[in-house]
Amino acid sequence: MIISDFFDLIYPNCCTGCNKILGRGEDSLCAECLLQLPLTGFEKEWLNPVSNELFGRVPLKEASAIFYFTQGGILQKMLHTLKYSGGSHIGAFLGKKAGKILAACGRYDKVDCIVPVPVNTRKEKLRGYNQAKVIAEGLLAHFNRPILENILIKPESGDSQTRKNRYERYENMLDGFSLSENIALLENKHILLVDDVVTTGATVERCAKELLKIANVSVSVVAIATPM
């Protein structure tokens, strides 16, 4: 406690929304900014803008996003920090909030395990972490399920990509995910696919389609944010 107070004095934690120094018990956001995070409430309804976007493209049990994402809003700042400025604590914070909401709504109770959307290892190395995995780990505080991160594989997009022609690159982009060989343990399971943002749903669609190749699995999707 004393040591942590000492470090807080030297390196005060600031609110990601307004840069104000955070008070005791505040994490990532001050109380005022926390109140400004716009909740979607999508998780309460089977049919919502996110599930509607994916409807007919891939069969999902449930699909939702927890917060609205607005240009210049607090959540945009947080997601930017998470993605580009080494803010893994932001992912943990948002994941924790999302986990509490998922646990409370009851619609995701039958989920057996969590699969974060993978990023290619080059990006992960640059950033130091996969943001979807950090979010997934945050969920566990209230929504405790095993996280399986080596099920979906995102191939490297590097030199090999530039040597391909445009059509091959396009195809590769569409089929950008594959399953590992280690999938027997997922048979008959309900998988929750986790990502940071869902917009057109193209990424979660491709990931879910791969997961649905496993015998008798069902897939649900949750993202932290979707555009308003």
Contact residues for Zn ion (CB under 5 A)? 15, 17-18, 30, 33
For the CB of residue 23, give the shortest distance to Zn ion in the complex, in Å: 10
Cβ distance to Zn ion smaller for residue 89 or 123: 89
HSE at residue 82, side-chain half, CA atoms within 13 A, is 26
Interacting residues of 206 by C-beta distance below 8 A, sequence separation 6+: 174, 175, 176, 177
Task: Look up residue 163 and give its DSSP letter.
Answer: T
For the CB of residue 123, give the shortest distance to Zn ion in the complex, in Å: 29
Tell me if residue 210 falls in helix, strand or coil.
Answer: helix
HSE at residue 163, side-chain half, CA atoms within 13 A, is 3
Cβ distance to Zn ion smaller for residue 33 or 111: 33
Cβ distance to Zn ion smaller for residue 26 or 45: 26
Lookup: tokens for 160? 């090999």
For the CB of residue 14, give the shortest distance to Zn ion in the complex, in Å: 8
Cβ distance to Zn ion smaller for residue 18 or 173: 18
Cβ distance to Zn ion smaller for residue 33 or 136: 33
For the CB of residue 24, give the shortest distance to Zn ion in the complex, in Å: 15
Residues in the chain: 228
For the CB of residue 127, give the shortest distance to Zn ion in the complex, in Å: 24
Greatest Cα pair distance in the chain:
60
For the CB of residue 75, give the shortest distance to Zn ion in the complex, in Å: 12
- Going through 71-189 in order, the beta strands assigned E by DSSP cover 113-116, 152-153, 178-179
Strands 218-227 and 190-197, how do they pair? parallel
Cβ distance to Zn ion smaller for residue 18 or 47: 18
Q: Rounded to an integer, what distance in angstroms lies between the CA atom of residue 1 and that of residue 7? A: 10
